[in-house]
Amino acid sequence: MKVLAAGVVPLLLVLHWKHGAGSPLPITPVNATCVTRHPCHNNLMNQIRNQLAQLNSSANALFILYYTAQGEPFPNNLDKLCGPNVTDFPPFHANGTEKARLVELYRIIAYLGASLGNITRDQKILNPNALSLHSKLNATTDTMRGLLSNVLCRLCSKYHVAHVEVAYGPDTSGKDVFQKKKLGCQLLGKYKQVIAVVAQAF
């Protein structure tokens, strides 16, 4: 089920319209000429690889911080509460072409970015004193924002891809607290699992 959540779209727009980011994805027509707002960095793939490595290295710590902050029985029931059972998570094929991998990476980062936005919002309300968790979530979101921009730049400049269909996870704003906790934990578990594969593939 692909959900283009209303609460997430504005977030994505803001995310893409940040200084230094590429042009907003959904706006560009499919057959339009792909033009980046700013020239892409020379060593873009290296930057992408570094950003992926950075995300990969911090993913487990973020996961642990998250489930610890949710209270018992989360830390002791990770398989059922935080298992990577995320439906509709964008697929990734490590043996694809670079273009295909970049497109899939774009979808994944867009999905994760939106989900992390939801998680950050929920945790600020639910755990206002868990400052280290907030800090880690914000740092991860910032890195993803940069990675998304770089991936878009690469897609646009090398492969002239201007439009990528993306899907987002469920919006948690209307869900009960336990569901927010559980979905967030599952998402971060999935993130930890996926980012390792993706980082390895690049």
The footprint of other proteins (CB under 8 A) covers: 69-74, 77, 80-81, 124-131, 176-178, 181-182
Residue located via tokens 């890195």: 143
d(C-alpha 202, C-alpha 45), whole Å: 8
Residue number, 54 or 127, with CB nearest to other proteins: 127
At closest approach, how far in Å is the CB of 139 from other proteins?
Answer: 18
Residue number, 34 or 126, with CB nearest to other proteins: 126
Distant-in-sequence contacts of 60-64, Cβ < 8 A, 24+ apart: 60/192, 61/136, 62/133, 62/136, 62/137, 62/140, 62/188, 62/191, 62/192, 63/185, 63/188, 63/189, 63/191, 63/192
Residue number, 81 or 162, with CB nearest to other proteins: 81
Residue number, 67 or 168, with CB nearest to other proteins: 67
At closest approach, how far in Å is the CB of 2 from other proteins?
Answer: 20
At closest approach, how far in Å is the CB of 136 from other proteins?
Answer: 16
Residue number, 124 or 158, with CB nearest to other proteins: 124
Q: Which residues pair with 29 in a beta bridge?
A: none
d(C-alpha 189, C-alpha 119), whole Å: 13
At closest approach, how far in Å is the CB of 161 from other proteins?
Answer: 38
At closest approach, how far in Å is the CB of 44 from other proteins?
Answer: 36
